[in-house]
């Protein structure tokens, strides 16, 4: 396992690189502080951290969505397939093959499920949309059953499936998922993560998952980063991270002997994380 300042020990071609980026909101609020990650082509990478760590800001920096919130990348660089993109607008970045599934689903509530999928392919110029809709239904049979239903009346899990399906319609080179487990029942979350893994394996889609659920993310990711206070504090292969005492303690909720910690143990635990010492 490597330290926060090391490059991932991956030999595959790198699709996305964030190199020491700094993000400031309203010219004064520093959110990302020397943030560096790499996403290899064809792999799943997890970006883990608690609320306020800067995970969503990282995705917005990649997607070109900082400007509407008075944020900007003030230092460092973001490169996608060898091209610098952090000064480009969101539409240009989408056209290059980066598609973000926003936190909270963000489906078009007044359109049907199938109309949402059609809207997801708006950047494409080919005529294979029908084929890809069937592909989405293959991964998410529940959406086919509800294809004529207004999206606003779908359950939270079905809306999350629809949001991922809509992203697939754009045939993304890089799909970024922002908190896909948020507000969903555990069994449904497991189903969605299993499907995400299948999409990666069967289509080679590169995926960046931003999550608080470390256990599930480490179960599907090829490599993962842990983020706190706007910077990367730890990174490594999932098997190695699972063996790290601090990861087990603070992210997996396990004691040194692998047992689940009680609320009382967590509440009264005094040791600081080693990376913050």
* Per-residue model confidence as pLDDT tens digits over 68-88: 899 999 999 999 999 999 999
Q: How far apart are CA 168 and CA 62, in angstroms?
A: 18
- Whether the pLDDT of residue 276 is over 90: the answer is no
- Percent of the chain as helix, strand, coil, to the nearest 5: 40, 25, 35
* Strand-pair category, 174-178 with 14-25: unpaired
pLDDT at 87: 92
- Whether the pLDDT of residue 123 is over 80: the answer is no
Q: 51: helix, coil or strand? A: coil
Q: How sure is the predictor about 250, in pLDDT bands with cuts at 50, 70 and 90?
A: confident
pLDDT at 249: 82
* Cβ atoms within 10 Å of 67's Cβ, excluding its own: 11
Q: Report which secondary-structure segment, H or E, holds 26.
A: none
Taking residues 94-119, what's their average pLDDT? 90
**143 and 165 in contact (C-beta within 8 Å)?**
yes
Q: How far apart are CA 123 and CA 52, in angstroms?
A: 32
Indicate where the chain has its CATH 3.40.50.300 domain(s).
14-97+172-180+204-230
14-97+172-180+204-230 fold: Rossmann fold (3.40.50)
Q: How far apart are CA 242 and CA 14, in angstroms?
A: 24
- Whether the pLDDT of residue 150 is over 50: the answer is yes
CA angle 48, 91, 59 (to 5 degrees): 10
pLDDT at 117: 94
Mean pLDDT over all residues of the chain? 86
pTM: 0.86
- Whether the pLDDT of residue 206 is over 80: the answer is yes
Q: How far apart are CA 162 and CA 143, in angstroms?
A: 7
* Cβ atoms within 10 Å of 116's Cβ, excluding its own: 23
User: What are phi and psi for residue 258, nearest 5 degrees?
Assistant: 85, 10
Highest averaged pLDDT of the listed ranges 5-9, 168-172, 267-271: 168-172
- Whether the pLDDT of residue 166 is over 70: the answer is yes
Q: How sure is the predictor about 246, in pLDDT bands with cuts at 50, 70 and 90?
A: confident
pLDDT at 248: 83
DSSP 112: B
pLDDT at 130: 83
Q: Report residue 6 as tokens.
A: 């090391």
Taking residues 115-124, what's their average pLDDT? 84
């Amino acid at each position: 396992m490597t330290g926060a300042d090391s490059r991932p020990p991956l030999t595959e071609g790198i699709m996305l690189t964030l190199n020491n980026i700094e993000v400031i909101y309203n010219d004064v609020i520093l959110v990302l502080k020397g943030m560096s990650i790499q996403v290899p082509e064809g792999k799943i990478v997890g970006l883990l951290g608690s609320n306020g760590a800067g995970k969503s800001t990282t995705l917005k920096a990649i997607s070109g969505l900082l400007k509407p919130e008075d944020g900007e990348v003030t230092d460092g660089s973001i490169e996608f397939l060898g091209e610098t993109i952090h000064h480009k607008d969101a539409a240009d970045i989408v056209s290059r093959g980066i598609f973000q599934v926003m936190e909270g689903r963000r489906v078009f509530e007044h359109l049907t499920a199938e109309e949402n999928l059609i809207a997801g392919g708006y950047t494409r110029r080919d005529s294979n949309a029908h084929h890809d809709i069937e592909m989405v239904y293959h991964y998410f049979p529940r959406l086919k059953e509800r294809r004529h239903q207004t999206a606003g009346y779908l359950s939270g899990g079905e809306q999350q499936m629809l949001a991922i399906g809509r992203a697939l319609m754009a045939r993304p080179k890089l799909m970024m998922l922002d908190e896909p487990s948020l507000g969903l029942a555990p069994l449904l979350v497991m189903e969605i993560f299993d499907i995400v893994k299948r999409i990666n394996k069967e289509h080679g889609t590169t995926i960046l998952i931003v999550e608080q659920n470390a256990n599930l993310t480490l179960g599907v990711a090829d490599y993962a980063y842990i983020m706190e206070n706007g910077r990367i504090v730890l990174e490594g292969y999932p098997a190695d991270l699972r063996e790290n005492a601090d990861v087990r303690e603070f992210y997996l909720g396990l004691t040194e002997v692998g047992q689940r910690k009680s609320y009382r143990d967590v509440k009264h635990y005094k040791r600081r994380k080693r990376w913050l010492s």
